Structure 1
Amino acid sequence: MKSIVGNRLAGLLASTTGAVAVRASKVLAWNALRLGFQLVWAIALARTLGAEGYGIFSGVAGLAVGLSGLVGAGLGLRMYQDAVTNPAVFDRRWAQAKRALAWSGLFLGSAFVAAAAVWDFLPDATIVLFVAVAISELVMAPAVTLIAFGYAAKGRMADSAMAPALLSLARMVAAGVFLLAPVGATLSSYAVLHVAATALAVLLLTWQFRRTVPIGSASSAVDSGDIAIGMGFTSIWFSGAALGSFDKAAALHWGGAVSAGAYTASHRFASLLALPVEALLMTALPHLFKARFEPENGWGVIVKLLLATTGYGLLAGVALWWLATALPWILGSAFNESVEAARVLAWYLPVFCLRSLAANILLAFQQKAWRFSSEMGALLVLLVLVASWAPAGGGVAPAKALLMTEMVLMLAMWARVLPLFWKLRTGTQ
């Protein structure tokens, strides 16, 4: 499956994205590896924990991953954008981003655990799980994102894609160890392995980054102006992360662990199939940043990306529909509900691909307020729909809620992108 999807996307890119496709080839290779690592991780974890345990872990992890959008105060993404257009500012922006990452991660991780201790919002999860997830997803894993941004800011897009792939590899190994553990291994014991794997990946990536990317000394001082600018970036980073992760926690809270596990498993496969488009858009983001200043080329880049994302989204949707019936065989009979949920998400994939393209265009064209308000409004719609449908709808209810939400969000974003595209096409941007 992985090679078929990768080959189809490679052919599509070659015919539609020109120079961007050449730069995307290595990124695609790393993301294909990442896809494979995450696929094995998900299967091993689901088969070991069952639908209930997998749903509990995914719900807690989803809540933390959503909050991780606040870690770093947006200064990592600011570094990426500024260094692309002015490489001389890299050292200063890197120092600021690294400092902000440290204090914000510790603060949010502590707050996450404290909230879990005093507010029983996910009663099936233990405090040990909350602590482990806080350390891995709020304190350590954001460093991988910062390293990926650092590589991308230097134009090293393949290395940027390598960073999250290595993290996925480490976690796959942890899940494999857990799968082979003696009978009686618990969710809490896997949580410890998850932390250890994340720590190992962060240490290796940090060593590799320092060895290959020269960084000069610069002040790491962050003033109120830096925070104000960073908040513009962190708002959209948070809203995007929350929209892509809070659904698991909501499914666990309102639908129960088994239904959450079935939904999360189907969503995991949908997310894996969407990874090649994320690779393409990550590679194309510097071109989109420059498109505002190069209208003669910018509109062509957007058209090619539109063709690529639409074509791949349709192919991915067909693939997920076809694969849906195999999910109980791959994951175990406890995941029978995943079949119907996956077929709903097959319709979601092309919508998600088009929405992701629009979101990146809004970011590149300094339309952060529109993107943030659209995503936060969509998040509210999603939570309301899950709360209304999940108690009686099983694992398919969150999938239907997500599909409806993504359709609304896609329309809201393209309503803003199309006027921008027209201005670019006519040279009035």
Structure 2
Amino acid sequence: MRKSDARRWMSYRPGRLGRNALFGTAGLGLRAVIQAAYLLIVSRWLGVQGYGLFAGSVALVILAAPLANWGSSVLLTRHIARDRGSSRAMWATALVQTGVIGGLLVLATVSVSALLLHQRLPFVPTLLLALSGLLLLPAAQAATSQCYALERGLASAIVMCLVPLGRTLAMLAVVVSGVAGTPGHAVIAHFMGSVFGLVAAVSVVAAVDGFPAWDSRLPLRAAIRRGTAYAVSNVAGTSYQEVDKILMLQILGAAAVGSYTVAFRVASIFVLPLSALISATLPRLMALHGSTSSNSDTFRAVLLVALGYGLLAGVAAWIVAPFVPLLFGSGYGDAVHCLLLLSPWPLLFAWRQCLATDLTASDRQRVRSVVEVAGFVLVMALNIILLPRLGKAAAAISLLATEVVVSMTLWALVRASTAAVR
């Protein structure tokens, strides 16, 4: 290597996108550690049966959670990427939209649980879980999106950790106090931690960008109309990772859900840095839309990094799998096999997320929504058919099969779009 090349390498400093991706990765890395601690605390405290009931109830809330802000996080990002001056107005828009839609979803979730599920938590714990996941957490996620859209990587890294940190500290406090390990007590700690996290997140955004501009926000009807395609895609893209736990709770029982959910949550921790990369990249891809060469170069670089990380994450999940019972307790022995089955998932997740993000950035959200809704229907059908026959393994098999089908479909659409532009 020549001296000039060495000096150039030593003096290299990442640009804003690189710094924000690094901050986001660091934030999600810290969040992964926090969530791992939360998972370890609550799973050991409740045991397989209790954690299965708790996790299955949480999954019902997660199923509806992507609808809670009705696409306002992506809508916020798109507006701010094009006009930084609209940030406080869009922050207000996101909060109002989340409050209205999230409130309606709380009522719907509690009703569905009471009327349709034969294995469920009582009314009050279900209500607290719904408030945590459908009002408090989505509002905090909007705060993270606000910081990402403003390209304030450090602030977004802090904000994304606040709700998980609040939940973990609250859960730890309850355990240390000697309270009996029941799903009801876990729900109370979960709710109180969510309240703390949201208050802290709103405080950070106020320090970074000021308070919401309520008078300048978009009309609710217009915001809901513009956010519909994003909302449909969000719920389909996220919910097909959670619907298996609800079906498993009803078909196989709480103990099966407990083992599989531990395996899935461990695998999910490994994909958190991918979410950081996508979140940091989306505003830039939106801003570059129409500039074909720059957009293509950025997307290609992100895709290669994501696939490389996804491969390494899958290997790490495979290596970690045998140690799950040592960490979570001997009752979670079945989680080893589930985690081994899920080890290819980070790579498939990376591929799907990058392709889907490219469609979003290029104003093809409705196409993405159709594909991801079809994926949700497919994974639900596969679980209904396979769970009674294959047991817990059916959930992992159904998820991987759906990821392959959805990713290949998105890949064909992206290729067709690129060819049409050329």
TM-score, length-scaled by structure 1 = 0.90
Alignment of 1:252-291 (within 5 A): 252-291=249-288
**Number of residues of Structure 1 aligned to a counterpart in Structure 2:** 409
Alignment of 1:381-396 (within 5 A): 381-396=378-393
Given that 1:67 and 1:241 are in contact with CA atoms closer than 8 Å, whether structure 2 keeps it comes out as: no
User: Which residue in 2 is equivalent to 1:12?
Assistant: none
Letter in 2 for 1:245: E
Shift of the alpha carbon at 1:35?
0.6
User: Which residue in 2 is equivalent to 1:415?
Assistant: 412
Is 1:227 aligned to residue 229 of structure 2?
Answer: no
Given that 1:122 and 1:252 are in contact with CA atoms closer than 8 Å, whether structure 2 keeps it comes out as: no
Distance 1:314 1:97 in 2: 35
User: Which residue in 1 is equivalent to 2:97?
Assistant: 100
Alignment of 1:70-85 (within 5 A): 70-85=67-82
Deviations 1:314-339 (A, max 9, x none): 11111111111111111111111111
- In structure 2, stretches of 5+ residues that fail to align are 1-11
Aligned pair partner of 1:367 in 364, 368, 386: 364
User: Which residue in 2 is equivalent to 1:25?
Assistant: 22
Aligned structure 1 segments of 4 or more residues deviating by more than 4 angstroms? none
Q: Alignment RMSD, CA only?
A: 2.0
Is 1:296 aligned to residue 298 of structure 2?
Answer: no
Letter in 2 for 1:73: W
User: Which residue in 1 is equivalent to 2:169?
Assistant: 173
User: Which residue in 2 is equivalent to 1:346?
Assistant: 343
Shift of the alpha carbon at 1:60?
1.3
Distance 1:138 1:107 in 2: 9
SS in 1 for 2:240: helix
User: Which residue in 2 is equivalent to 1:242?
Assistant: 239
Moved more, 32-41 or 213-222: 213-222
Cα gap change, 1:264/1:291 in structure 2, threshold over 3 Å: closer, same or farther? same
Distance 2:237 2:61 in 1: 13
Moved more, 293-302 or 392-401: 392-401
SS in 1 for 2:216: coil
Deviations 1:257-303 (A, max 9, x none): 11111111111011100011111111111121123221121111111
Moved more, 67-76 or 294-303: 67-76
Cα gap change, 1:336/1:223 in structure 2, threshold over 3 Å: closer, same or farther? closer
User: Which residue in 2 is equivalent to 1:9?
Assistant: none
Deviations 1:348-371 (A, max 9, x none): 221111111111111111111221
Aligned pair partner of 2:158 in 132, 137, 162: 162
SS in 1 for 2:241: helix
Distance 1:155 1:411 in 2: 31
Shift of the alpha carbon at 1:306?
1.6
Distance 1:151 1:401 in 2: 35
Distance 1:319 1:362 in 2: 30
User: Which residue in 2 is equivalent to 1:10?
Assistant: none
User: Which residue in 2 is equivalent to 1:34?
Assistant: 31
SS in 1 for 2:245: helix
Distance 2:134 2:55 in 1: 15
SS in 2 for 1:218: helix
Distance 1:79 1:260 in 2: 36
